[in-house]
Amino acid sequence: MSNSPRRALVTGGSSGIGRCIAETLARDGADVGLFYQGEVNDGQPVLRRIESFGRRAWSRVGDVSDAAQVHSAIENFTAAMGGMEILVNCAGIFRDQVIWKMTDEEWSDVIGVDLNGVFHCCRAAVPVMRQGGWGAIINISSINGLRGKFGQTNYSAAKAGVIGLTKALAREVARFNVTVNAVAPGLIETPALTQMSAEARKESLQEILLGRPGCVEDVAELVAFLCGDRARFITGEVIRVDGGQYI
Has 155 been annotated as catalytic? Answer: yes
Assess contact for 11 and 17: CB atoms under 8 A. Answer: no
Q: Where are the beta strands (DSSP E) in 86-129?
A: 86-89
Assess contact for 113 and 91: CB atoms under 8 A. Answer: yes
H or E element: which one contains 55? none
- Marked catalytic residue, from 35, 36, 58, 155: 155
Assess contact for 9 and 74: CB atoms under 8 A. Answer: yes
Q: Which residues contact 89 (CB under 8 A, 6 or more apart)?
A: 11, 64, 117, 118, 121, 122, 137, 138, 139, 140, 162
Q: What is the CB neighbour count within 10 angstroms for residue 179? A: 23
Q: Which residues contact 232 (CB under 8 A, 6 or more apart)?
A: 179
H or E element: which one contains 101? none
The DSSP annotation for 185-234 comes to: E-SB-SGGGGGS-HHHHHHHHHH-TTSS-B-HHHHHHHHHHHTSGGGTT-
Positions marked catalytic: 155
